[in-house]
Homo-oligomer: A and B are copies of this chain.
Amino acid sequence: MRVLGVDCGGEYTGYGVVEMHPAGKLRCLGCGAIKLSPREALPRRLSRIYTQLGAVIAEYQPDEVAIEDVFYALNVKSALKLGQVRGVAMLAAAAAGLEVSEYSPLTIKSSVVGYGRAEKHQVQLMVTRLLELPAPPEPLDASDALAIAICHLHTATTHQRQRAVGR
């Protein structure tokens, strides 16, 4: 199973593609971040995210998409900004016929670091170890996106195992 994780942000939108092999081994296929210029008009910025995420999906052919749920600790202004980016990211997934799963920051951090209040650099460290990367993924938005993908793979395989034992 191959998952695209997307970390939506006002300035950077991170993405990361992780594959889980039958034995449970995780492999990073690619990651990066789409940088948006605040000088560009908003519709053009959103258009850029949509096109670039579409290109990532076309290149890596993920089976599913996972995205951070961001109901938390934001003010109205940043929630609106983030919502715009999220809407477009979800649309890119829907355009490719992919299911989207949402995870809270707490769930993502718990799944990757084992501690829901972990800092971004702790997430980056664990992502580097779990994926056996030669260097920490940069920028932090890319490592966050990989963490979201790993969280979804952990969750999906747990569900599969539960189904397998008839629960």
Contacts and interface: CB of A to CB of B under 8 A. Distances in A.
Which residue, A46, A82, A91, has most C-beta atoms of chain B within 10 A? A91
A82 B77 CA distance: 11
Interface string A68-102: 00110011110111111111101101110001100
Interface stretch (A37-45, A109-117, A138-146, A152-160): A37-45
Interface residues of A, number: 30
A71 B76 CA distance: 7
A61 interface: no
Nearest to A44: B94
A15 interface: no
A23 B94 CA distance: 45
Nearest to A93: B43
B77 A46 contact: no
A75 to B, nearest CB: 7
**Most B CB within 10 A of own CB, among A83, A88, A93, A100:** A83
Given A42-B100, A43-B100, A100-B43, A83 B91 contact: no
A47 interface: yes
Contacts of A88: 87-88, 91
6 contacts: A42-B90, A47-B91, A79-B79, A82-B83, A84-B86, A87-B88
Interface of A: 41-44, 46-47, 50, 70-71, 74-77, 79-88, 90-91, 93-95, 99-100
